[in-house]
């Protein structure tokens, strides 16, 4: 879907958090991150070489990735000139912003003139099939959460790398725009038309070697009323052999919904597993990934220990502890 390597465009973001797409690429696919391009005032730094468009192209950059999120997800006026220059130099441009590249006439014209592509990864690029639920060869693992934005992508990316470090064949399968920009391909599931959701995930995770794992990025939560349907389509389209439960213990309510409390990990397990077994009777819950960023280290350790004896499953924070124990549990599945 995207040509690599990338030049990461950070624009003039007011803080490092606004450059989390660039950060994700730098952390998870450093081999794609050739350099960065910053405008005056930019408050983020990926500790990559600052390259001009000319330098980046000379070093082989294929795609300028907009690695920054502006307020409101818009394509800032101050960015357009650089994007035009990149197109003129023969690069593609990729963006996960709400406002689409294809809606900027200046960029559309420049892309046409120079033969470059404008890739809005929020927009499905494929006519996905309707799901058929047929068993597929190879193994699949899916991260499901007690809530949205709870560390499912991080967990899946860390697990994918930990599996490969163990010598297990593994592919991270992106289902959201950040994941797609990081790995260069995937399905923007939240933008897929309802009837084709499950089919898009079947398409994303096709037949593979018997000993190959697809590590599928989760979306939403079965307990989040805004997005639960997306999550169930992911479970039924993904046909997981293994589920990883994801949780954030300090969160007091569902993301964006102060009137909804989070389910327990037991409720998540007892809801997600029978639903997954509709399409894959052998599916198991193999581990728990906990985002303990908001807890002091000793409290996090005590929490994980207690959780592990409560659930009888490996319970780890992959950011603090690495994903090796989750990879071990998946590989043993």
Residue 68: phi and psi, rounded to 5, are -125, 150
Side by side, the strands of the sheet bearing 33-38 are 33-38, 6-11, 63-66, 92-95, 118-120
C-alpha to C-alpha distance for 65 and 36, rounded to whole angstroms: 10
CB of 265 to its own copies, least distance (A): 15
Torsion of CA 201, 155, 3, 81, to 10 degrees: 110
Nearest in space to 232 (alpha carbons), one of 273, 188, 193: 273
Asked if 156 interacts with its own copies (CB under 8 A), we say no
Q: Pick from 14, 133, 249, 322: which binds its own copies (CB under 8 A)?
A: 133
C-alpha to C-alpha distance for 124 and 190, rounded to whole angstroms: 10
| Cβ atoms of 160 and 214 closer than 8 Å | no
Asked if 233 interacts with its own copies (CB under 8 A), we say yes
CB of 274 to its own copies, least distance (A): 7
Q: Which one of the spans 153-161, 190-198, 204-212, 315-323 is the region binding its own copies (CB under 8 A)?
A: 190-198
Asked if 189 interacts with its own copies (CB under 8 A), we say yes
Nearest in space to 310 (alpha carbons), one of 272, 266, 270: 266
CB of 235 to its own copies, least distance (A): 8
Nearest in space to 185 (alpha carbons), one of 210, 165, 161, 204: 204
Q: Pick from 69, 110, 158, 222: which binds its own copies (CB under 8 A)?
A: 222
Asked if 271 interacts with its own copies (CB under 8 A), we say yes
Nearest in space to 251 (alpha carbons), one of 267, 265, 262, 263: 262
Q: Where are the beta strands (DSSP E) in 129-188?
A: 139-145, 169-173
Q: Pick from 118, 230, 265, 295: which binds its own copies (CB under 8 A)?
A: 230
Query: Which residues on adjacent β-strands are paired with residue 247?
Result: 290
Q: Pick from 257, 293, 297, 306: which binds its own copies (CB under 8 A)?
A: 257
The footprint of its own copies on this chain (CB under 8 A) covers a number of residues equal to: 41
Q: Which token pair is 173?
A: 């399968």
Q: Which one of the spans 23-31, 32-40, 147-155, 233-241 is the region binding its own copies (CB under 8 A)?
A: 233-241
Between residues 260 and 319, which has the closer beta carbon with respect to its own copies?
Answer: 260
Between residues 161 and 192, which has the closer beta carbon with respect to its own copies?
Answer: 192
Between residues 232 and 245, which has the closer beta carbon with respect to its own copies?
Answer: 232
Q: Pick from 52, 149, 208, 226: which binds its own copies (CB under 8 A)?
A: 226
C-alpha to C-alpha distance for 99 and 257, rounded to whole angstroms: 25
Q: Where are the beta strands (DSSP E) in 211-316?
A: 212-216, 242-247, 284-290, 315-316
Q: Pick from 275, 307, 311, 333: which binds its own copies (CB under 8 A)?
A: 275
Asked if 73 interacts with its own copies (CB under 8 A), we say no
Query: What DSSP element (H or E) covers 10?
Result: strand 6-11
CB of 32 to its own copies, least distance (A): 27
Q: Which one of the spans 5-13, 55-63, 151-159, 251-259 is the region binding its own copies (CB under 8 A)?
A: 251-259
Nearest in space to 231 (alpha carbons), one of 146, 173, 291: 146
CB of 122 to its own copies, least distance (A): 10
Q: Pick from 198, 246, 329, 330: which binds its own copies (CB under 8 A)?
A: 198
* Residue ranges in contact with its own copies by CB under 8 A: 130-135, 189-195, 197-199, 222-223, 225-234, 236-237, 254, 256-257, 259-260, 263, 271, 274-275, 278-279
């Amino acid at each position: 879907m995207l040509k690599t390597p990338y030049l990461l465009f950070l624009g003039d973001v007011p803080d490092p958090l606004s450059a989390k797409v660039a950060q994700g690429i730098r952390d998870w696919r450093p081999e794609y991150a050739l350099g960065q391009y910053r405008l005056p005032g930019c408050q983020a730094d990926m500790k990559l070489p600052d390259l001009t468009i000319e330098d980046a192209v000379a070093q082989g950059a294929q795609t300028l990735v907009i690695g920054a999120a502006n307020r409101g997800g818009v394509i800032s006026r101050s960015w357009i000139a650089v994007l035009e220059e990149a197109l003129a130099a023969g690069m593609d441009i990729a963006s996960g912003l709400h406002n689409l590249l294809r809606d900027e006439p200046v960029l559309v014209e420049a892309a046409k003139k120079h033969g470059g592509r404008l890739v809005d990864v929020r927009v499905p690029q494929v006519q996905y099939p309707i799901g058929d639920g047929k068993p597929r060869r190879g193994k699949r693992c899916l991260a499901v959460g007690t809530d949205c934005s709870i560390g499912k992508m991080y967990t899946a990316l860390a697990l994918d790398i930990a599996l490969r470090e163990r010598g297990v064949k593994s592919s991270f399968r992106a289902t959201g725009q950040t994941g797609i920009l990081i790995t260069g391909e995937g399905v923007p599931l939240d933008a897929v038309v309802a009837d084709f959701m499950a089919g898009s995930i079947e398409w994303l995770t096709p037949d593979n070697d018997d000993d190959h794992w697809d590590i599928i990025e989760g979306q939403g939560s079965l307990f989040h009323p805004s997005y639960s349907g997306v999550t169930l389509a992911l479970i039924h389209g993904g046909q997981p052999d293994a589920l990883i439960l994801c949780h954030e213990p300090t969160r007091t309510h569902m993301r964006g919904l102060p009137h909804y409390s989070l389910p327990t990990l037991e409720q998540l397990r007892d809801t997600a597993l029978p639903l997954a077994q509709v399409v894959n009777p052998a599916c198991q819950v193999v581990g728990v990934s906990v985002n303990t960023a908001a807890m002091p280290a000793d409290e996090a350790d005590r929490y994980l220990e207690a959780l592990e004896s409560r659930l009888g499953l490996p319970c780890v924070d992959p950011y603090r502890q690495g994903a090796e124990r989750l990879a071990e549990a998946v590989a043993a599945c």
